[in-house]
Amino acid sequence: MNTKKIISAASALFAASVLLSGCSAVSNGDNAASEVSKPTEIKSIGLMVQDMSNPFFTAMDKEAKVQAEKIGAKLNVQDAQLDLATQDNQISSFIEQQVDLIIVSAVDESGLQPAIERAKAAGIIVVAVDTPAKGADAVVMTDGVQAGELSCSYLAEQLGGEGNILIVDGTPIQTITDRIKGCKSALEKDYPGIKVVGQQSSKNDRATGLSVTTDMLTANKDVQGIFGMNDPSALGAALAVEQAGRTSEIIVTGIDGSPEGVDELKRAGSPFVGTSTQNPGEMVKQAVAYAQKVAKGETPEESTILIPSVMVTRDNVNEYKGW
């Protein structure tokens, strides 16, 4: 081998060794990040909600204060106002503050994953509530399938097992798709005489619940019932029924057990006749309980915790505790 070839081979070997040592350094850094220990005590909690103007999330805030005081932890509550970038920044702030637990109701199930992974690498326990968030240690949410089954079964029973219904759907996140799945499963299994003749998606609020229901009622004259996948959309549907002058012909059910839903159940003459419940306060309570188990070195049996739903109607609304 001539001198030039020897020098070239030596240079290549040196470059390869540098590259390998560099890769080893990166790998060791990753391992160090992944090996950051979890807290041994929950002394600080960061709660992130989607939209504090929604009573669902103010109920979470209320329970978070109760739980923080109970365990002697500091609490920092942040409102994303339905903005993903804001939630990303909020997680970064919580990492800087070195909180022990982040409880998050994610605006987007997948979009927060990089930020959540950063938090976990910093040793923070992350629990998603209300809706799954990829990367979170656990999720606490309503049993959406059960809630959908309860609401649509009650609707079908009130119709005597016969008739045409509309479904006011929502944004394509798991909590909502589970409710629709539960509704359709119940109808298919137990109420073959009920037919879904229209289905459109709202933006999970009363205004779009009103508009899509108005459109469906125009296109489908023969309708006896409507299922709204949450209370705001169902209440919008109820308003559409009233505006169409069809209150005596059509009944509506929803999901949430919200304060507004309760008020509507108590309003004489409303087409809104039932709502299967969610329990936002219980979600936060269970999230804190999960984190405390982890802090004590325990390995919780379940990372998906489902909160049972119950049906609230005009018959039992006065016994319902609400949010």
Q: Domain holding 289: CATH number? A: 3.40.50.2300
pLDDT of residue 168: 98
pLDDT of residue 124: 98
Prediction pTM value: 0.84
pLDDT of residue 293: 97
* Residue 25 within a domain: no
Model confidence band, residue 82 (pLDDT cutoffs 50, 70, 90): confident
pLDDT of residue 20: 37
pLDDT of residue 4: 41
Question: Terminus-to-terminus CA distance in the chain, angstroms?
Answer: 83
Please tell me the total count of domains within the chain: 2
Do 177 and 60 fall within a single domain?
A: no
Question: Which residues contact residue 319 at a Cβ distance below 8 angstroms, ignoring those fewer than 6 apart?
Answer: none
pLDDT of residue 15: 42
* Residue 31 within a domain: no
Do 285 and 249 fall within a single domain?
A: no
Q: Say which residue, 38 or 146, is predicted with more confidence.
A: 146
Do 79 and 204 fall within a single domain?
A: no
Distance CA 58, CA 179 (A): 23
* DSSP character string of 240-275: HHHHTT-TTT-EEEEEE--HHHHHHHHSTT-SEEEE
pLDDT of residue 32: 36
Distance CA 227, CA 229 (A): 6
pLDDT of residue 14: 41
**Residue span of the structural domain in which 238 resides:** 144-278+312-319
Q: Say which residue, 21 or 194, is predicted with more confidence.
A: 194
Do 61 and 135 fall within a single domain?
A: yes
Do 113 and 236 fall within a single domain?
A: no
Q: Say which residue, 106 or 173, is predicted with more confidence.
A: 106
Query: What percent helix, strand, coil does the chain show, rounded to 5?
Result: 50, 20, 30
pLDDT of residue 172: 86
Do 135 and 218 fall within a single domain?
A: no
* Residue 27 within a domain: no
- Percentage of the chain lying above the pLDDT 90 cut: 85
pLDDT per position as a tens digit, 261-309: 999 999 999 999 999 999 999 999 999 999 999 999 999 999 999 999 9
Residue with tokens 């109701």: 105
- From residue 179, alpha-carbon distances to 44, 142, 263, 284, 314 in Å are 34, 10, 23, 21, 22
Question: Which residues contact residue 98 at a Cβ distance below 8 angstroms, ignoring those fewer than 6 apart?
Answer: 44, 122
* Residue 28 within a domain: no
* Residue 37 within a domain: no
* Residue 36 within a domain: no
Calculated CA dihedral for residues 62, 67, 68, 72, nearest 10 degrees: 150
* Contact status, residue 209 vs residue 235, Cβ threshold 8 Å: yes
Do 150 and 274 fall within a single domain?
A: yes
Do 85 and 197 fall within a single domain?
A: no
pLDDT of residue 3: 41
Do 152 and 68 fall within a single domain?
A: no
* Contact status, residue 236 vs residue 204, Cβ threshold 8 Å: no
Examine the pLDDT at 116 and tell me if it is beyond 90.
yes
Written as six digits, the tokens of 305 are: 């915790």
pLDDT per position as a tens digit, 6-30: 334 444 434 444 333 333 333 333 4
* Contact status, residue 44 vs residue 100, Cβ threshold 8 Å: yes
